Each structure stands twice: as C-alpha cells, then as structure tokens.
Amino acid sequence: MKKQSNKNMPPKPDFVFRKKNYIMMAIGIAVIALGFILMAGGGSDDPNVFNPEIYNFRRIRLAPAIVLIGFGIEIYAILLNPNKKKE
C-alpha cells in the first residue's frame, strides 16, 4: 500500500490567538464585569427621595478605574504574542 502525500490535504488552520491569549481575555472580562457590579446600586426605592449613596467613592472613582484596568488587560491580551520565547 502506498502512503498518501500531504499535497491533497488542506493545510491545518493557524489561529491568531493561543490558549494564553484566551486566558488573559477571560481575566479582562471578569475584571470589567467586577467594575460594572461595583457601579450598580445606590438608587432609592422611592423616586421622590434622593439617596446620596449614588455619589460615593466606590461608584464614582473605584468602579470606573477597575473597568478601565479591565479594558487595559483586554488590549494586552490581544497584543500578547504567545509564540515569543523568553531569553
């Protein structure tokens, strides 16, 4: 029996991202979700009553900073080259 040559076989697809990229992307999405969770809440049950909790540190400063950090992690994950060897 003769061996088949690889000439008739289609080339194996080469993906842009590797496992390391997807792990970093998942971490970034989790950090972004955490930021949005921290931003939630602080409303009032009664629409005629103002609740100043909506302007606390967590919702105005901390949560948006965490969301921006998450987006930074996403950019890093996209630009990460998993084939680069450490020297």
User: What number of other Cβ atoms are within 10 A of residue 80's Cβ?
Assistant: 15
Is residue 71 situated within a structural domain?
yes
Q: For 21-31, what is each residue's pLDDT tens digit? A: 999 999 999 99
Chain-wide mean pLDDT for the chain?
A: 87
Is residue 54 situated within a structural domain?
yes
Is residue 31 situated within a structural domain?
yes
- Count the domains in the chain: 1
Q: For 25-71, what is each residue's pLDDT tens digit? A: 999 999 999 999 999 977 777 888 888 888 899 999 999 999 999 99
Is residue 5 situated within a structural domain?
no
Is residue 6 situated within a structural domain?
no
Q: List the domain range (segments joined by +) for residue 52.
A: 19-79
Is residue 66 situated within a structural domain?
yes
The letter for the amino acid at 31 is: V
Give the global pTM.
0.77
Instruction: Report which DSSP code applies to 42.
Output: -
